[in-house]
A and B are shown apart, each in its own frame.
Chain A
């Protein structure tokens, strides 16, 4: 192994700063080719919420599997080492792409990738590692990483939720096409932060992120969160308000995190509860048409 000097860069996403250091060599290529989606979030060196170091071709520590998640060809196997580090193993369509090993407090982590080739697999591994880390490390800070599409209009963000294939992106596109003054803030993984004012009251802001699914929409921008819309396909358009536990149930499945670790689950629950109580939530059964986008806007943006 040759001794290489790492290069470190800093990024700020939704007011949480993290750093990424590469030991892969050709570090400017690494940041230009693998981390281009992070460029709008570049920030000055400072104290970090967490840091990630990326290594190629090194031995990955042994671990015991705790659970696995398999969605649309993307597999994450989670476990822990004897020393108590958390491990996340990433595969894409059965091809192993890398392993993330985290300290107990998730502040310092290492990503091991099989080789230093600047491929889409490496990009996938780096994005996955940073999303996992971000979701877990910021859970105690009133921050949640969502699976949703967000449209910004009149200074407010509206988030479209739903299972994969429900039409979140489609509904967002319909807003852009048929409702005036709309802009896509993020198409897949926005971040939401809750700010407490007093007595459990407060407000939320929604932030763009370096993660946006298949749509390259990496905006370092944010706005007040105006509402959640849980989508369901139907042969008609109908919208209804969700309250309390129903609102909580709508947002819960859209938030990433390691819920089987109690301290992480506690942090996520606190934020989810505050969001359910303070941000309007709606249930939209809809067709993929203009009328759905108009009905939705007229109802929720009043």
Chain B
């Protein structure tokens, strides 16, 4: 999986927000607020280019004090949300 072209993470009034700015993402028409973990995962996914739930969960375990099982569950839930709103493919 990867983040679709044209979606960026920006800080809006102290919150982390995904918005569609590029060609093909301009019709997104909404702002997606992320919590701290989700914003961190987005940054990581953006650096990785291609990612999987497993590779993001591994990265999460390396950064935060969380066990593999919980990390995978959290990442899976967040990635599902992103799929639902169509910002990754």
Contacts and interface: CB of A to CB of B under 8 A. Distances in A.
Contacts of A66: 23
Given A245-B31, A249-B31, A260 B22 contact: yes
B33 A245 contact: yes
Nearest to A243: B13
Contact of A67 (B11, B14, B26): B26
24 contacts: A66-B23, A243-B13, A244-B12, A245-B15, A245-B17, A245-B31, A248-B12, A248-B17, A248-B31, A249-B30, A252-B19, A252-B31, A253-B29, A259-B21, A259-B26, A260-B6, A260-B22, A260-B23, A260-B26, A265-B21, A269-B10, A273-B11, A276-B13, A277-B13
Given A67-B26, A245-B31, A260 B12 contact: no
Interface in B1-50: 6, 8, 10-15, 17, 19, 21-23, 26, 29-31, 33
A254 B6 CA distance: 20
Interface residues of A, number: 18
A265 B13 CA distance: 16
A247 B31 CA distance: 12
Given A245-B31, A249-B30, A260-B26, 10 more contacts: A67-B23, A244-B14, A245-B12, A248-B12, A253-B29, A259-B22, A260-B21, A260-B23, A262-B21, A265-B8
A269 to B, nearest CB: 6
Interface residues of B, number: 18
Nearest to B14: A244
Give the 4 A-B CB pairs with smallest separation, nearest first.
Answer: A244-B13, A259-B21, A260-B23, A260-B22
Contacts of B11: 273
A244 B15 contact: yes
Contacts of A245: 12-13, 15, 17, 31, 33
Contacts of A67: 23, 26
A277 B13 CA distance: 6
A260 B6 CA distance: 7
B13 A273 contact: yes
Nearest to B19: A252
Interface in A223-261: 243-245, 247-249, 252-253, 259-260
A144 to B, nearest CB: 15
Contacts of A259: 21-22, 26
A67 B15 CA distance: 30
A73 B30 CA distance: 25
